[in-house]
A and B are shown apart, each in its own frame.
Chain A
């Protein structure tokens, strides 16, 4: 094997496989979104942007888009706000730190669909243990039907979203904190800087690139997140908890509107591409710095 061609041979199998799994379906989606399709996926006439026009006239799609925005913003910001202090604590030396790390990482270890199934049971209106726990604590008097209404179901879904996004985010921050040299703090302490000043003037600026990266990656993951909402409410009741991914699934596999579903996929693809470009720019700035 010659030196010049060797690396290409080495990357070829992985490239072919990954490209086939990504580019080929993408081509299918583009052609579905531009044709009239029956529910078995047979292509009929070319209709141009008709599916997109249908979507933008569909109040459920518009509502799902807004809800996706609320979902993504609440989960991502909530995760970041909770994760920074947790990472700061887990980076310190204290008794039981190993156990604390494992407990905080636990939601990452258990599949999202299992966590969601368990929550669906815990939130059960009649026999769910959240109601009984809250009653025992004297916080509520009568059972709440958590999943029967969007006004209680959606905030709970956001809470679950925050809990399962936290481990990954804390992990990124721990990686960032481990690169902060200790003597910086010692120097600051001899200059008379208090704990808060140390955090504000040293930790936060050094953590900023990691916060940026966690922000963008979480935005992408949360935007794409399907199991929590699908397993707990399947977008219901009456389409009131759909986000784009669950609405896409409902359109494609429940209602048989494959063309419309493909159009939603493409819209999501474009949004994700924008997020990715932001991420690449941030990551490259990091590499230069």
Chain B
């Protein structure tokens, strides 16, 4: 007799397999195409005759993806630092103080989370154009920060609330002041939460599309998503094997990072939903 866990596993995988196939399909297409030669791309067979590793080096030289990678890194890293720097104090205040306006502030964050950049893009464009800052990557940093604050404060606050207050109270009893307690008791315990939140903020900025599409006009300023789209949109002939190689480079590192961290997101969101 088969043991019941094995039987259950087979049943579950059978059920999940159609959906897994549909999910994996585009990414399989991306990976396979990025290893095909130019002639094979137009002739849709599943497996390439040989793996064309040179697609990646050729794409790297012709597509301008190196500067896009640098731009994406610059914008994402800087806006992550800024977002975390303003969100930590706010999350600390929400999880440790009772004050008038606390609920109003939480609801303000909620509303700001609901508004996607696309709804405000016309107004943002006009503001940025009026001060002559189109094509300035620092403008993207500020805008991404503004839109990520709500998510970041929400996540940090839900983690901070799980750090027991007793530890801090014990430190006060021993005569440490609030700042000292914060530095030597609270912050060390909060480091993992900050790192996880920072990485998710980074991924959000890395993947952002519509603001970059609107605010960046010169090719040398493009971030990765815009660069990859520019290889496709408005062209008569598209070198799909290069496009897929570029999409591969742009998404795989972040996807691995995300796969490794997704369980923290499950935890953070569900704690956030309960508290």
What residues of chain A have their CB less than 8 Å away from a CB belonging to chain B? 4, 6-11, 13-15, 17-22, 24-29, 32, 41, 82, 85-86, 89, 92-96, 100-115, 117-122, 124, 126-133, 136, 159, 163, 171-172, 174-176, 178-179, 210, 213, 220-221, 224, 226-227, 231, 234, 245, 248-249, 252-253, 258, 261-262, 265, 268-269, 272-273, 275-276, 279-280, 286
Contacts and interface: CB of A to CB of B under 8 A. Distances in A.
Interface stretch (B3-11, B52-60, B168-176): B3-11
Interface string B109-147: 111101110111111111101100000000000110111
B228 interface: yes
A131 B121 CA distance: 37
B201 to A, nearest CB: 13
A127 B42 contact: yes
Contacts of B251: 109-111, 114
Given A113-B229, A118-B29, A262 B122 contact: yes
Nearest to A5: B99
Given A14-B89, A94-B5, A262-B122, A114 B258 contact: no
A126 B105 contact: no
B206 interface: yes
B207 A111 contact: yes
A112 B244 contact: no
A10 B150 CA distance: 15
A132 B46 CA distance: 8
Given A18-B146, A95-B5, A127-B41, A227 B105 contact: no
B209 A226 contact: yes
Contact of B123 (A15, A24, A105, A109): A24
Given A22-B146, A122-B26, A227 B43 contact: no
B167 interface: no
Interface string B189-211: 00000000000000100110110
B70 interface: no
Q: Which of A7, A8, A9, A226 has the most CB of B within 10 A?
A: A7
A231 to B, nearest CB: 6
Contact of B229 (A117, A119, A178, A265): A117
Contacts of A175: 266, 269-270, 273
B267 to A, nearest CB: 8
Interface string B24-62: 111101101100000001111110000000000000000
A17 B13 contact: no
Contacts of B269: 171-172, 175
B41 to A, nearest CB: 7
A105 B99 contact: no
A245 B210 CA distance: 11
A118 B31 CA distance: 10
A78 B93 CA distance: 39
A50 B97 CA distance: 48
B155 interface: no
A25 B24 contact: no
A105 B101 CA distance: 37
Given A10-B89, A14-B89, A276 B119 contact: no
A72 B261 CA distance: 29
Interface in B218-274: 225, 228-229, 232-233, 240, 243-244, 247, 250-251, 254-255, 257-259, 262-263, 265-266, 269-270, 273-274
B161 interface: no
Contact of A224 (B6, B119, B122): B119
